[in-house]
Structure 1
Amino acid sequence: MSRALNFYENEITNYKDKLKILNNIINIISTIRLVIIILIISSAYYFYKKENILFLIGSVIIGFLLFIVVAVFHNKKIKERNESKLYISINGKGINRINGRFKEEEDKGEEFLNDKHPFTSDLDVFGRNSLFQMINSTKTKFGREKLRDILSLKEIPSKEKIINRQEAIKELGNKVKWRQELEVKSTFKKSGLRDISDLLEWAESQKEIKPIFKIVPYIFIFITMVSIILVAVRILPITYLILVFMINYLVVKTLTKDLSQVISLFNNHKKDIEAYTNLLDLIDKEDFKAELLKGLKLKLRSNNSSAIKEMKALKSLVDWLGDSSGNAYYLILNVTLLSDIFILRNLEEWRNLNGNKLKEWLEIMGEFEALSSISNLSFDFEDWCYPKIYDEDGLEGIEVAHPMLGDKAVSNNFNLNSKNGISRKVALITGSNMSGKSTFLRTIGVNLLLSYIGAPVCAKEFSCSIFSIYTCMRTKDNLEESISSFYAEILRIKILIEAAKNGEKVFFLLDEIFKGTNSRDRHEGAKVLINQLVDNGAMGLVSTHDLELCELEETRKWLKNYNFQEYYEDDKIKFDYTLREGKSKTQNAVHLMKLAGINFENK
């Protein structure tokens, strides 16, 4: 059993045992709460009958205080139970990743699907049965968007950046309990995926604090305190104090006329702020060794301010705002100490000091989430390797397999590099239907992507240089734009050619190109395209049924033929999905047509 599988199963067992204990405790406390309520009612009735008002009030107060203490403990245990359930779910997801059952996960990242992206649709990066579905453990909007940007190669990383990210992902891979806590803290508030653009807009629209907010409250508080003393010593009547409170209330409402909008804003995002504060607190308390992680954490403490300290201050202010909605004790504070004015002023001061930093803090938090998601691969698949990054153009893999196929994956050796004075640029892959050509193209593409994001790859050894990945594999009709599948393919090829011409280091994956036209044009077009791409410095793989295209190997030393084959057992087609050198010598199309009922004897 692998290290990761053993860890996940042990954690599930431990949390299930903890869950049983917590359920028993919660049931007992529920009974105790009920007993306390009965005792409060009984004692109140008893002392009422005895006409002992002092004892009646005392017993009710003591009973309610005891009830509050028990209720707080009860809620704490319920929270622990809910967190235990989340830990069981998270460890279950880890087992599903290892066993290839990640396809059961609901979050597929379908909102990130983009058919116009150079490779994400063809390589199953987002959507059903995708890389995102396999690794994602982000629970906030910022984490998801950062993971999307990383998986989409929004920025082509340098060799140094890849190595730094590898170091960070290795470290986070070993911090599995910390990563799980990060996920639990963001999940527990059920808040992270909501849009907070209105909160960020408030934070970034800074305003100067009016002098009236700094002076007026103290004047009225002084008048109120003096009035209370004068009323207490019976120099002034109590009606005067009531008048002072009414004036204070009008002053508060006048100076905080915009407070209702602020209260609405923060009540809507109270759980978001609490979740973000918890996540930043976890990051702040953790010790990191990797340069990338230390650098990110340092940004949360830059310019003599601490993100976690300021977020906790904001959370405290928001908690006060939450208490201001109609509570009697808060109304007393408001007419006595003008608390709403101070809260609004403190919020303005917080915004002026930190408003332009909030988005950056949350994006850094999101980057930790995204890196933690990628590091799931580091912990779960200890037999995978971290790739070496070439300075010269090339790609080489030993026992390379598709990372999302689990036990069904078949590994192959493959290389495109310079050996014996010959620089290989293109692999032409032939083979019969369903033999594994398209899957192999995706195998190379996904492992290249994993290499560039700093993740381990599904191989015994893997080395590559840095390219821009372009694919043309799943072109389809677009009825809304009146585009046929062939024209859609032409458009993708055009993007690929332009990228190569513009000096990008292109690695292309082309699957059955120009299949929407006649065999003569398909053959001629493919031959010219491959030559043109290589002339512009590109490298890549091309799968085809056009065996005549294999003749290019005789005149183009930079091209090498490979193939996949099938065999038959009991008149049934079988595949071994093993990559072989040379062009294909087998075909199965006629056999498949016969299985469909086409009678070739009557031709």
Structure 2
Amino acid sequence: MTSRIEIYEKRIEALERQKEMAIKRGKRLMWMRLLSFAAAVAALFGLFAISVVAAVGLSLLLMGLFALVATRDVKNQRLVAYYDSLIAICRNEVACINGDTSAFDTGAIYFDIRHAYTYDLDIFGDRSIFQLLCRASTAKGKQLLAQRLQHPLKREEIARNQQSVDELANEMEWRQELQAVATEMEADKENLTSIKTWLTADNDGLSSFGLRLMVVGYPILVVGLMVLWGVGILNGLVTLSLFPYFIIYGKYGNRIAVVQSLVGKSADELRSYARLLKVVEAKTFRSPQLMELKSRITKSGRQPSAITAEFAQLVQQLDVRNNAAFMLLVGAYIFWDFRVVFKLNRWKRKYQLLIDEWVAVVGEMEVLASLATLAYNNPSWTMPEVAEGYFRLEATEAGHPLIPAKQRVCNTFSITDSKTILLTGSNMAGKSTFLRTLGVNMVLAYAGAPVCAQRLTVSYVPIRTSMRITDSLVENTSSFYAEIKRLGEIVKAVKEGEKAFLLLDEILRGTNSNDRHIGSKALVDLLVESQVCGIIATHDLSLSEAQHTYPKAIANYHFDVQVDEKDELYFDYKVKTGVCTSLNASILMRKIGLKV
């Protein structure tokens, strides 16, 4: 079976060939532009003495050819840039499969140390789950992906999402086209900043009934006065009739200028989004979710390209106000710019909600394409089953998604009957990574994504973690107090009846061993009493004796280490039943020169 890297590399080779052809075509078009322009100049001057008509006619014909070639050349340059984007996309995917995700957004702006699990599970930040997943270029796409990782989908939506991801996983070229077109958009255009400002702004009196009546009726009155003036009647009133123009333009002229500034930028922004929507529009989908998303961009009955073309035409009409001669001779007297603004306001009322819909649809498509890319790049991963009831977790050969496949060690593990798992083990044996493996795959499962496992069945429950605790100078909080606050949130949720799945790593590490044992045991008692399932990783071997008190509610598992005659440590990173009996701290201390 051809590997994904080989597929990407073959695609890069094909795209390089197409790009090279486009570059050669561009060189030919450049020469054609030069020759057609030179020929037009030569025809004009060479034939002018013989026949002015022939000189001008042939010159115009050749300039028309020049314009046609120039247009083709611009399209060809865009095509070269498009091939460059596709090549970069493929190269980034090869790097990603090899463990380098540096080309993708880290999602650092969504970093939240107070979140129930995202900080502990490396969901955002450098070398994070978000960075592994994100292929979105628009701000909305990134925001929706972050929300998907922070807040699970509803259980009934997960299967629907999985179906869409499975369909798009087999559409690599379409996904890359969507990504390439989105990448071409400039940063300010992708956010639709200007048009959002205009759409949400108050019309500032520019749509009032009185103003509209004045704009429509007053020019007619002035024309009537000019007719009367022309026949020698009411001479003085014609001059007086011009004063209302000064009053209206004095009051509203700056407001018109603000609208012109916003919609001028908005036209380019909308055209960029229309290109993205055209990629969605041209695709035939099978899964219900994708078909519904596609239908949302055309529910007005018009294509996005037609709607944006109408808007662009209105913007061009408004820009005519920059022509001083036109405004002095005609425009000002018929309130040309006011009339265009009225049309723009009608366009706004008609399509305002549709623009928001376009942004949302593109964002959703980018999220699904991101998850589908994850599925495509990892064909050995699987779609999980999200089950009802509390609590069930059955994982076959589950691994951590952020560890490259060649270094990844997978584990088969299951929890049933709401048991509390006490996980002991040596330093560096893999306890923390194991906790994150389960937590991260649950987050992916709840996001409708594939998981890093041969098979995974997991109940739909909240996730809470306490694994990575840091102090805060800003909040004047020590690491121990920060952990106490975190555990306090978990204890409160358990006492209030929340049935979450807990992942706790070396809790109460900031206090003495006796207090740590007392606190840990109290927490275990609470979990057993509340029938809340979780895994507690600990070095406190005496805590594992709680299984004798609660034989049906607690199970012991461990990670161990093998030591040879030279005190070299060997880890297999495999979870095993029972309590750990092999410890390595004293060996490590001897290696740094301590006599223990």
TM range (shorter): 0.7 to 0.9
Match of 2:33 in 1: 33
One-letter amino acid of the structure 1 residue matched with residue 545 of structure 2: E
Match of 1:295 among 268, 285, 292: 292
1:558 aligns with 2:553: yes
Query: Shift of the alpha carbon at 1:403?
Result: 1.2
Is the contact made by 2:136 and 2:367 (CA closer than 8 Å) also made in structure 1?
A: yes
Moved more, 24-33 or 4-13: 4-13
Counterpart in 2 of 1:138?
A: 136
Q: What secondary structure is seen at the aligned counterpart in 2 of 1:406? A: coil
Q: CA deviation at 1:326?
A: 5.8
CA distance in 1, matches of 2:9, 2:336: 52
Counterpart in the other structure of 2:373: 376
**Aligned with 1:274 (options 266, 271, 289):** 271
Contact 1:256 1:340 in 2 (8 A): no
Using a 3 Å threshold, how does the CA distance of structure 1 residues 316 and 513 change in structure 2: closer, same or farther? farther
**In the TM superposition, what is the alpha-carbon distance from 1:535 to its structure 2 partner?**
3.1
Instruction: State the Cα distance separating 1:197 from its structure 2 match.
Output: 5.2
Distance 1:313 1:177, change over 3 A: farther
Displacement of 1:248: 13
Amino acid at match of 1:531: D
CA distance in 2, matches of 1:177, 1:320: 39
Q: Is the 8 A contact 2:15 2:87 kept in 1?
A: yes
Among candidates 139, 145, 152, match of residue 150 of structure 2: 152
Report the more deviating stretch, 384-393 or 29-38: 29-38
Q: 1:478–1:484: 8 Å Cα contact kept in structure 2?
A: yes
Q: How does 1:14-413 map to 2 (within 5 A)?
A: 14-47=14-47, 50=49, 53-102=52-101, 104-153=102-151, 156-191=152-187, 195-196=191-192, 199-205=195-201, 207=203, 208=207, 210=209, 213=212, 216=215, 257-302=254-299, 309-318=306-315, 340-393=337-390, 394-407=392-405, 408-413=407-412
Q: For 1:214 and 1:287, locate their aligned partners in 2 and report how far apart those are by CA, in whole Å.
A: 48
Match of residue 449, structure 1, among 424, 443, 453: 443
Pick closer, same or farther for the CA change 1:195–1:303 going to 2, 3 Å: closer
For 1:434 and 1:72, the matched residues in 2 are separated by: 63
SS at match of 2:97: helix
Task: Return closer, same or farther for 1:143/1:24 CA change in 2, 3 Å cut-off.
Answer: same
Answer yes or no: is the 8 Å Cα contact 2:162–2:448 preserved in 1.
yes
The 3-state SS of whatever aligns with 2:395 is strand
Amino acid paired to 1:432 = S
Q: How does 1:442-521 map to 2 (within 5 A)?
A: 442-521=436-515
Query: Which secondary structure does the structure 1 equivalent of 2:422 belong to?
Result: strand
Per-residue deviation, 1:415: 0.6
| 2-structure distance, mates of 1:84, 1:494 | 54
| TM-score normalised according to structure 2 size | 0.87
Q: How far apart, in 2, do the equivalents of 1:47 and 1:249 lie?
A: 52
Output the CA distance in 2 between the equivalents of 1:127 and 1:57. 64
Post-superposition shift, 1:210? 3.9
Report which stretch shifted further, 508-517 or 54-63: 54-63
2:187 aligned counterpart, secondary structure: coil
C-alpha separation in 2, matches of 1:499 and 1:99: 40
> Judging changes above 3 Å, is the alpha-carbon distance between structure 1 residues 469 and 330 closer, same or farther for their aligned structure 2 residues?
farther
Aligned length: 573
1:570-581 mapped onto 2 (5 Å cutoff): 571-581=567-577
CA–CA distance in structure 1, aligned partners of residues 333 and 582 of structure 2: 91
Q: Please, which moves more after superposition, 391-400 or 76-85?
A: 391-400
Change (3 A) 1:305 1:38: closer
The change in CA–CA distance for 1:411 and 1:119 in structure 2 (over 3 A counts) is same
Partners of 1:541 and 1:2 in 2: how far apart? 39
Structure-2 change in CA distance of 1:329 and 1:196 (3 Å): same
Question: After alignment, is 6-15 or 581-590 more displaced?
Answer: 6-15
CA RMSD of aligned residues (A): 3.3
How far 1:500 moved relative to its partner? 2.5
SS of residue in 1 equivalent to 2:87? helix
Structure 1's 497 and 305: CA in aligned 2 closer, same or farther, altered over 3 A? Answer: farther
Unaligned 5+ residue runs, structure 2? 227-238
Q: With structure 1 as the length reference, what TM-score do the two structures score? A: 0.86
Equivalent position of 1:230 in the other structure: none
Distance in 1, matches of 2:59 and 2:335, equals 32
Partners of 2:505 and 2:370 in 1: CA distance: 30
Write the letter of the residue equivalent to 1:150. Answer: R
Contact 1:140–1:193 (Cα < 8 Å) also in 2: no
Identical-residue share of aligned pairs (%): 30
Kept after mapping to 2: 8 A contact 1:109/1:133 = yes
Letter in structure 2 aligned against 1:117: H
Residue in 2 aligned with 1:233?
none
Query: Is this contact kept in 1: 2:149–2:443, CA < 8 A?
Result: yes
Paired residue type of 2:458: C
CA deviations on 1:342-368 (whole Å, 9 max, x unpaired) are 432221001112224432331232112
Amino acid at match of 2:288: E
SS state of the match for residue 582, structure 2? coil
- Shift in CA distance, 167/324, structure 1 to aligned 2, threshold 3 Å: farther
Structure 1 residue 476: Cα displacement: 0.7
By how many angstroms is 1:279 displaced?
A: 2.0
Higher mean displacement: 363-372 or 307-316: 307-316
**Any gaps of 5 or more consecutive residues in structure 1?**
228-242, 418-422
Alpha-carbon distance, 1:461 to partner: 0.9
Aligned to 1:258, the other structure's residue is in SS state helix
> One-letter code of the match for 2:100?
R
